[in-house]
Amino acid sequence: MNRDVASLLKDHAARLAALDLSALARSGGGRDAALQWQAGPVHLDARHQRLDAPAMDALFALAADAGFDAARKALLSGAIVNATEERPALHAALRDTGALADRALASRIDEAKGRTAAFAKACQTDGAVPGKPFTRIINIGIGGSDLGPRLIYGALKAYRRNGVDLRFVSNLDPADLEDAIEGADPATTLVCVTSKSFTTSETLMNARAARDWLAASLGQDAANARIAAATAAPDKAQAFGVAPERIFAFEEGVGGRYSLWSAAGLCLEIALGPEVFARLLAGARAMDAHFADAPAEDNLPLAKALIDVWNRAGRGCLARCVAAYSSRLELLPAYLQQLEMESLGKSVAVDGTPLGASAGGQLVWGGKGSDVQHSFFQWLHQGRNEVPVDFIAVKALYAEGDARARALGANLVAQSAALLDGHEGEGPLAAHKTMGGGRASSVITLDRLDPEGLGALIALHEHKVFCEGLVYGLNPFDQWGVELGKVLARDLLDGNHTRFDPPSLDLARAFGL
C-alpha cells in the first residue's frame, strides 16, 4: 500500500521540531523507557533522537496499519514477499528452516548447509591433494557476494583458522586479483567463485583470470580441481568448468545482499571453520526469533526501522551516517550502504505508483571511529544539513584495561553528546566556533564482538530494512536499478554504440574502447 508517510507524521514532526533536543534528552521518565530496546546482545539507545513516546506510538500505529504482524509471518514462513519477481525472501530460513511452510524447500536448504559444512571440514585436512590442505582461499564475487563475507572475515579476525589466508577479489582492475594471489602457492590455493546468477561479468572475468593463473603452474585439470562455486545457477557453473561435487547451490529466493548465510559464505566457513560459522548463524537466528515473537512496541528491528522512517519521511533527513567505533567493524558502513540503498532505493511502490518525495530509504554512509572525527565530523557538527548518526559500540572493548580502548569509548560518548548539546563560541571568532547542537543520533551497542553478536547485528539490519519497505509500501527485495549500466557496458564492449551520446563516445575512445 502506497501511503503518504510524511503527511501522517507531520503533526508530531512540527511539535517536536519546536522543542529543545538537549532538554528533551534530559527529561527522563517514561521517555527513557520508550526509546530503548534490547534483543539478546544488542541494545539500541535512541534517547538522542528528536522523538518522544507519543511520536513512537504514531510510528508503531503506521506499522500496524501496514500489516506488520501478517508481513513478518509471511517473510519467515517463506511466502511470496518479493512481488515483482514472485519470490520469497529466504535469508532467515538459511538460519532456521523450522518456520517454512514448504518442507521440500526446507530439506533442500538443510541439505545445502550440510554439504558446505562437510566441505569446509574436509578442507582442514585435505585440499586438491589428500593430506595437503588449502592455505590460500580466494573469494571472487561482487556486491553481496563480496561485501558480506569481507565484513565477517574482518570482524571475526580473532576467530580465523591458523594457516589459512582468505582474500577477496571484486574489482575488474587487474591489481585486485594480483593482490589476492600474491605469495600464494597455486597447489594449495582454492578459488571460490561466488555469483547468484553466474553471469556477472566482473566475477566471470576475474574467475577466468584466476583459473589461467592456476593452469599456468599446474595445468588445466589441476586448475579446475582447485575451483569451487556458490550459485543459484549450478548448470552455468558446471558449464564454466566447475566439477559438480564442488558446486554449492543456494535458492533463487536468496537475494545477493542477503546471501552470506548461504553457500555464498563458503569461503567464510572454510577460513573460520564450520563451528564458528554455525555460531554466526545462531546469533542471527536468535534475532530472527526476537523479530518473530516480540510485540511491536518491544521489537528491536521494527523500532530501528521506524526511527529511520521518522528521520527520512517525518523530518526530511535524506542521509544517515554510520560510525562504527571498532576497527574490526570498519566495513560495516559499506555493508549497510549496499543492504539499505539497494533494497530501499526505490521511487515507486509495489503497485507501481510513485512514492512521495520523502519516502524511500536514506543515503547511508560512514566510517570507522575515531578516524571519522578527523574527516567528516566537522561537517556533521557545523554543516548546513543535519544527518542523524548511528554510533556502533562494542561494550566489552571499552571495558578492557587498555587505555586506548577506554579512550575510544569515551570519544563515542563525547561525539554523541556534542551533536546533542553543541557549543556556544566566545570572543571575536564566536560565530566560527559555535556548534548549534540539536542533532540526532542513536547508539547501537554490542555486548561483545563475537560470532553470535555479529550475526545478531546483521540480522537486526536485515529485518529493519524489511520493515521500512513495509511502511513505505515498496519492495526491498528487487534491484532493477543495477541492470541498465551492465547492459550498456556490454553494448559498448560489443561495439554497439547506438545508445550512446557523443560525449560518452568521446570518453570511450579516450579509454581505447
Which helix (H) or strand (E) is 36 found in, with range?
strand 36-39
Q: What angle separates helix 53-65 from helix 68-77, to the nearest 10 degrees?
A: 60
Contact 371, 333 (CB under 8 A): no
Q: Please, which residues have CB within 8 angstroms of residue 502's CB and are 6 or more apart in sequence?
A: none
348-351-357 Cα angle (round to 5): 25
Helix, strand, or coil (residue 185)? coil
Name the DSSP class of 99. Answer: T
The counts of H helices and E strands in the chain are: 22, 11
What does the buried/exposed string (b/e) look like for 48-72 if buried means 16 or more CB atoms within 10 Å of the residue's CB?
bbbbbeebbebbbebbeebebeebb
Rg for the chain, CA atoms, rounded: 24
Instruction: Find the largest Cα–Cα distance for the chain.
Output: 76
Q: Is 342 a catalytic residue?
A: yes
Q: DSSP label at 333? A: H
* Tally of CB atoms within 10 A around 432: 9
d(CA 129, CA 185): 13
- H/E segment holding residue 394: strand 389-394
DSSP-assigned letter for residue 436: -
Do the Cβ atoms of 204 and 198 come closer than 8 Å?
Answer: yes
Helices 300-309 and 53-65, packing angle to 10 deg:
100
Catalytic residue among 10, 73, 132, 486: 486
DSSP SS3 for 135: coil
State the cell numbers at 243: 566439477
Start-to-end CA distance of the chain, whole Å, equals 45
Nearest to 271 by CA among 204, 394, 213, 189: 189
> Which of 86, 374, 426, 432 does the annotation list as catalytic?
374
Catalytic pick among 342, 386, 452, 462: 342
SS (H, E, C) 355-381: CCCCCCCCEEEEEECCHHHHCCHHHHH
Long-range contacts of 422-430 (CB under 8 A, 24+ apart): 422/22, 422/381
Using alpha carbons, select from 191, 192, 198 the residue that is nearest to residue 235: 198
Please give the grid coordinates belonging to residue 398: 571499552
Please state the φ and ψ torsions of residue 355, each to the nearest 5 degrees: -75, 160
Active-site residue, 374 included? yes
Chain centroid to Cα 465, Å, comes to 10
Q: Which residues contact 46 (CB under 8 A, 6 or more apart)?
A: 35, 36, 303, 307, 442
Respond yes or no: is residue 423 known to be catalytic. Answer: no
Positions marked active-site = 342, 374, 486
